[in-house]
Amino acid sequence: MAALTGFFLGLALVIGIGPQNLLVIRRGLVSASLGMTAAGTAAVTDLVVITSGIFFFSPNLSSGGSQWLSFGAGCYLLYCAWDAARDTPLEGAGEGTSPSHMLHRATARAAFLYSFLNPWAWCDAVMVIGQQAQSFQAGDRVLFAAGASFASLFWFSLVATSVSIFGSRVLTPSVQRALQRGSALLLVALALSCFSGAIFS
């Protein structure tokens, strides 16, 4: 029961369009292998973030800490918006123009940064998943964390696979530009929401 609760809560949080999902989509449009690299790295990093949030940060969270997390998430999302708006070299390149290992390394590094240094993800891990986990006993808390972490692996893999199957049919320069601009605008809106939460909470 705890594992299922963690899975569905984690899934509900990870489904929302954010920096990680947008990165997996953009890399998946380049190639299936890059999409899976982004998905796998994001999922593994989420495992670290979620377990840290449940077992260390959430039990020691103060109200002031939550406000700083919200403010940090807003700043981070503004950076992601800027990064999404300028992210053209890799999308326009394709794997044939650079050594494959360099593209995969760059993708893995980006996915790690978008996950581990993402205050938005830490907000979810500490204030939502972590707080919910405290209602379980110690043993069930481990199952809850496993379920929440598996939700990230399941969702990111599903996104990467779907993009690799259907993405090539719509991969045109105009679609790429629209995706970049739409991603940037969405991330700005999410950032403003975080700033609002930090100021008025």
pTM (two decimals): 0.72
Neighbours of 82 (CB within 10 A): 13
If one counts the domains in the chain, the total is: 1
In a domain, 19, yes or no: yes
Residues, the chain: 201
Alpha-carbon distance of 151 to 113, in angstroms, equals 20
Per-residue pLDDT of the chain (201 residues; tens, 9 = 90+): 889 999 998 888 888 767 788 889 888 888 889 999 999 999 999 999 999 888 887 776 655 556 666 677 677 777 777 776 775 544 444 444 455 778 899 899 888 988 887 777 777 787 778 878 888 888 899 999 999 999 999 999 999 998 888 766 666 667 667 777 777 787 787 778 767 766 765
Torsion sign over Cα 75, 132, 15, 101: positive
Query: Residues 17, 18, 24, 29: what is their CA dihedral angle, to the nearest 10 degrees?
Result: 60
In a domain, 24, yes or no: yes
In a domain, 180, yes or no: no
In a domain, 116, yes or no: yes
Alpha-carbon distance of 157 to 36, in angstroms, equals 7
DSSP string of 31-67, one letter each residue: -HHHHHHHHHHHHHHHHHHHHHIIIIIGGG--HHHHH
In a domain, 189, yes or no: no
